[in-house]
Amino acid sequence: MNQIKDNPVLVDVTRGPLVESRHRGAVAVVSDRGDLVLGVGDIQRLIYPRSAVKPFQAMVAVESGAFEAFGLGDSELALHCSSHNGEERHGTQVEDWLKKIGLGVQDLECGSHLPFWISKNPGFHAAFSGACPVYNNCSGKHTGFLTTARHLGGETAGYIDPAHPVQQATIKLIADMTGFAAEDMPVGMDACRAPVFGVPMERFAYGLARLGSQKGLNDDRAEAAFRVCRAMRAFPWNVAGTGRPETLLMEDKAFTGIAKCGAEGVYALTLPEQGLGVVVKVDDGSDRAAHVIAMAVLKYLGVLEGEALTRLGGLAETPVQNWAGRDVGVIRPVKGIFQSGA
């Protein structure tokens, strides 16, 4: 395997007057025609999109007919795409969805972790009795996998096996959307035990552009892509949760696209009006830098301007706070980072 190139510094983290830390990364912006609009760093590098690929995984559930068969709507579809906080309503929605398909919490194979929300909500922490799979940030995706498996009539147990029909359908769809051959995709395991498939950044950005515009897709796939985008726009809280960058961005009237984080410093944007897909990858896996870079891309492209940038200023330059809640620095994009882009 070729050694990963050194990518440029894209984000500075300050404390007082000094730059204390820096984050390197890469950015790919690609049109739905496959044209490279902006390329910074090594955008041919194979990456695992991690949770940023969830809209594609959700498309499989729609395209298979599973959502229609079980009478599911956009709220569940947004949960299929989610990496949620594990707030109480996230958990109850997943439980309700499992009941609709005749299954239960015991059928989830995502494992358990304490909800992301606990650290920010002491009241919920006091009432929370222990980790449960429905509060896993990927429980919506896993319930979606189970929904498709039930509809297809196969085994639901082992639905996370790469050889399972649900996962085979997923990898074929990702290959079609990105134009990157399935047999060339490295396969790994995500934190939630689901398969992850490696694709080049530029190809993933192309797939995201097609997700938004549905350019070149057959009727069934175009309908699935449209429904996924509509669901994420309609239920942004389901996609992430209170205070999360994706929720705040998709709730803002000036932003008409969809946003999705992925673990290890991945951030993805679909911009239907512009026919563009955006992928950010931070080399050191930092989540704190990923959305800051994404916001800088939106500003560079002219997607967000004026009052919108003011409203979303906390995402564009995120304060660094001490334990007392006092601002002591900022996480900010490096000036002029896209001036040498393609």
Residue 159's Cβ-side half-sphere holds a number of Cα atoms within 13 Å equal to 25
Q: Which of 161, 185, 158, 157 is nearest to 171 (CA)?
A: 185
Q: b/e for 136-150, b at 16 or more Cβ within 10 A?
A: bbbbbbbbbbbbbbb
CATH for 284: 3.40.710.10
DSSP bridge pairs for 277: 30, 270
Q: Are the C-beta atoms of residues 256 and 16 closer than 8 Å to each other?
A: no
Query: Mind listing the pLDDT tens digit for each residue in 65-96?
Result: 999 999 999 999 999 999 999 999 999 999 99
Per residue in 248-305, pLDDT (tens digit) is: 999 999 999 999 999 999 999 999 999 999 999 999 999 999 999 999 999 999 999 9
Examine residue 134 and state whether it is found in any structural domain, yes or no: yes
298: in domain: yes
Write down the mean pLDDT value for the chain.
94
Asked if residue 167 belongs to a domain, the reply is yes
Note whether residue 184 is domain-resident.
yes
pTM of the entire predicted model: 0.94
CA distances from 94 to 114, 137, 225 (A): 16, 11, 22
Tally of structural domains, the chain: 1
Domain that holds residue 36: 9-333
On whether residue 342 sits in a domain, the answer given is no
- pLDDT < 50 positions in the chain: 1-3, 126, 341-342
Domain assignment of residue 34, yes or no: yes
Q: How far is CA 29 from the centre of its chain?
A: 16
